Amino acid sequence: MSNKLPNCADPQVVNILKQAITDTPAFKLLGLSSIEVTDISERPSSTADKRICRGNMHLGEQIGSQVVYYSIDWQNKEKGEFWVQTIQGE
């Protein structure tokens, strides 16, 4: 168990982010089954208890790509539990 937040490109973080996006009604209306998130970087506004991240979300040939910002926050630091959410860009 670690008391450090995972980094922005951690596979578990990226999978949570992708699941959160693909579960939204708006995404389901697009008729897509999956997305890719690439070019992931941590933003300068990150702190020890909150990481601010940026990535390129690829939605397929027909739709293209879009920048996505997301944060990683502690849910329970003692248990090593964190949560990931999309946020408004900087």
Q: Domain-by-domain residue ranges, the chain?
A: 11-87
**pLDDT tens-digit map of 48-90:** 899 999 999 998 888 889 999 999 999 999 999 999 999 987 6
**pLDDT tens-digit map of 20-48:** 998 889 888 888 778 999 999 999 888 88
81: Cβ contacts below 8 Å, ≥ 6 apart: 74, 75
Confidence band for 18, pLDDT divided at 50, 70 and 90: very high
Angle at 28 between CA 22 and CA 38, to 5 degrees: 35
**Full-prediction pTM beyond 0.85?**
yes
Other CB atoms within a 10 A radius of the CB of residue 2 amount to: 7
